[in-house]
Structure 1
Amino acid sequence: MAEEVRAEMVANVWKVVAKKGDTVTDADPIVILESMKMEIPVHAEDEGTVAEIAVSEGDVVSEGDLIAVIE
């Protein structure tokens, strides 16, 4: 089953750490968001393969926006 990784707040995408096809494990960072000069890593919650990265560096995300899909 695919896991959707979603933004928990309004923030800028500072750095995309993972790419499509990468294998990730529990708690691996997918992207790093920046909000109010703080860096906030967004982690995978399960093991799997990154099927999609839905953001690019410099994008602005809102709460609930799709960041990545892990299969």
Structure 2
Amino acid sequence: MAEDVRAEMVSTVFQVVVSAGDVVKEGDTLVILESMKMEIPVIAEIDGTVASVDVSVGDVIQQGDLIAVIS
């Protein structure tokens, strides 16, 4: 079962920590977002393999935008 990881707020992608094909555990950081001078880690909610990373450093993303897919 795949899980879409989506943005919870408008923010800028500060750092991409994982790549497609990486194995992650629940709680691992996938990307770090920046909003209002705060760094916000986006964490994996399930164990799995990163199927895709759909953002790049510097991207401005909106609430609900796809960040990554974990399968």
| TM-score, normalised via structure 1 length | 0.99
Q: Across the two proteins, how many residue pairs are aligned to each other?
A: 71
Letter in 2 for 1:43: I
User: Any unmatched runs of 5+ in structure 1?
Assistant: none
Greater than 3 Å deviation, 4+ residue runs = none
AA of the residue aligned to 2:44: A
Distance 2:65 2:27 in 1: 19
SS in structure 2 opposite 1:20?
Answer: coil
> Among the aligned pairs, what percent are the same residue?
65
The C-alpha deviation readout for 1:44-71, integer Å capped at 9, x for no partner, is: 1000000000000000110000000000
Cross-structure match for 1:24: 24
Residue of structure 2 in register with 1:48 after alignment: 48
